Amino acid sequence: MEISAIDQARATEFASGTTYLNTSASGLLPRRALEAVRTLAEECAAGVRGGPGSFDAVDAARAGFARIAGVAPARVAVGGSVAAHVGLVAASLPPGAEVLAPTGEFSSVVSPFAVRGDLRMRYVPLTELADAVRPGTALVAFSAAQSADGRVADLDAVRTAAAAHGARTMLDASQSAGWLPLDAGAYDYTVTGGYKFLMGPRGTSFLTVTEDAQETLPSLYAGWVAAEDRWNSTYGPVEKLAPDARRFDEPVAFLAYHGAEKALDLLAEVGVDAVYAHATGLAARFREGLASAGHEAVPGTSAIVAVPGLGGREPDLAAAGVLVSARAGNLRAAFHLYNTAAEVDRALDVLSG
C-alpha cells in the first residue's frame, strides 16, 4: 500500500514523546529544520563561517512562504515578529484614521494601532465584521483564524465589504497559514508568525504587501539588509532601498531562518490542501467526541478546537502527556500534519476521566 505524504512526513520528521495538540502555541520542529539549526550553531561555534548565517537561507525561506501564500517572493518581507510588521502598517495611517477589528482579536494585531493614541479604534464581534465596514474605515485588521477559539473569519465577505468602501485589509495568518489555504495577494497586507503551523523556529515572521500598498508603508527598518545592494550598503546611509517588499526586511535571526527554510520545504512537499483535509478531519473527530461526552466546542470546521469553560483541564491533560492550551477560559487543541486519530482519542480519554 502506498504511503501518503503526511504519513511519510510523520514517520521521518517527527518524534514527539507526547500527544502534542498545541500547534496554536508553537509547532513541532521537523528533524530537517532541527538539523539545519544545529549545523549552523556548530559552525558558528567552531568559527568555520565568515558570518552568522546565510542570506541564501533567508531568501529560500522567503520563497518557501511565498509559495504557500500564493504570491511572488518579491511581495514578501521577512522579520522577527508579527507586532513589528503590524507596526509598519500602523505607522502608515494618518491621524484620525479608523481601524476596524474583531472584539477579542490577538494583541499583536491591534496594539500597534491602539498605542498610537491618535487613531480611531472600533471593535465588533467577528461575525459582524464585514457588515461593520463603512465609509471612512481606513483599515480592517483581523485574523483568518482567531487565536482564542479558532473561529475562521468570513474572508470573502470582509474583502468584498472593504473593497466596496475603499478600506485596506490586513490579515493575520499566524493561526492559519500551513493548514488553511492562503491567497495573500487578495489582501493589502498579511502578517504571519512562522513558528506555529509553518513549523519554523520562533523568530521567523513574514509580511506580504501588494505592489500598490507598498507605496503606503514607511521604511522604518531601512538598514543595509533592506538595500537593493546589501553588501555595498553597509556603511553610511543606504542610497537605494530594494524596489520590492524586501525594503521592509528587518535584520533576522539566522538560526531561525535556516530552520524555517527546511520546515517550509517539508510543508511544500506535503501540500497545504492535504494538511487541511487531515487536520480538519481530526478536529471534526475531536468535536464529535467532545459532544458525546457532553462538552460543546465552538462550532466550525477549523483545525483549531476550543471548548468554552474547560480551560481548567489543561493541567490534567499535561500531567497525562497531552499538551493543549488554555486561552480566554477555553480549552484549545490544534491539529496538524503530525497528529493522528489515536492522539485525538487519547485526549478524549483523558478528558473523560
Domains and CATH numbers, the chain: 5-30+271-352 (3.90.1150.10), 55-269 (3.40.640.10)
Which long-range contacts does 288-292 make (Cβ < 8 Å, 24+ apart)?
289/344, 289/345, 289/348, 290/348, 290/351
What the block records as the C-alpha cell of 94 is 494618518
Separation of alpha carbons 55 and 281, rounded Å: 38
Per-residue pLDDT at 1: 63
Q: Give bridge partners of residue 189 from the DSSP assignment.
A: 170, 209
Which long-range contacts does 225-234 make (Cβ < 8 Å, 24+ apart)?
225/55, 225/249, 225/250, 225/251, 225/252, 230/55
- Answer yes or no: are the C-beta atoms of 106 and 143 closer than 8 Å: yes
Closest CA to 295 of 333, 335, 338: 333
Helix axes 107-114, 82-91, angle to 10 degrees: 30
From the number of C-beta atoms within 10 Å of its C-beta (0-12, 13-18, 19+), residue 222 rates as middle
Residue with cell 480566554: 328
Per-residue pLDDT at 97: 98
Q: Per-residue pLDDT for the chain (353 aa), expressed as one digit of tens each?
A: 678 999 999 999 998 889 999 999 999 999 999 999 999 999 999 998 888 999 999 999 999 999 999 999 999 999 999 999 999 999 999 999 999 999 999 999 999 999 999 999 999 999 999 999 999 999 999 999 999 999 999 999 999 999 999 999 999 999 999 999 999 999 999 999 999 999 999 999 999 999 999 999 999 989 999 999 999 999 999 999 999 999 999 999 999 999 999 999 999 999 999 999 999 999 999 999 999 999 999 999 999 999 999 999 999 999 999 999 999 999 999 999 999 999 999 999 999 98
- Answer yes or no: are the C-beta atoms of 7 and 337 closer than 8 Å: no
The 3-state secondary structure of 45-114 reads HHCCCCCCCCHHHHHHHHHHHHHHHCCCHHHEEEECCHHHHHHHHHHCCCCCCEEEEECCCCHHHHHHHH
Separation of alpha carbons 138 and 261, rounded Å: 35
Separation of alpha carbons 102 and 117, rounded Å: 19
Cα dihedral across residues 9, 306, 287, 191: positive or negative: negative
Separation of alpha carbons 140 and 282, rounded Å: 31
Separation of alpha carbons 70 and 263, rounded Å: 17
Q: For the chain, how long is the longest CA-to-CA vector?
A: 66
pTM for this prediction:
0.96
248: three-class secondary structure by DSSP: helix
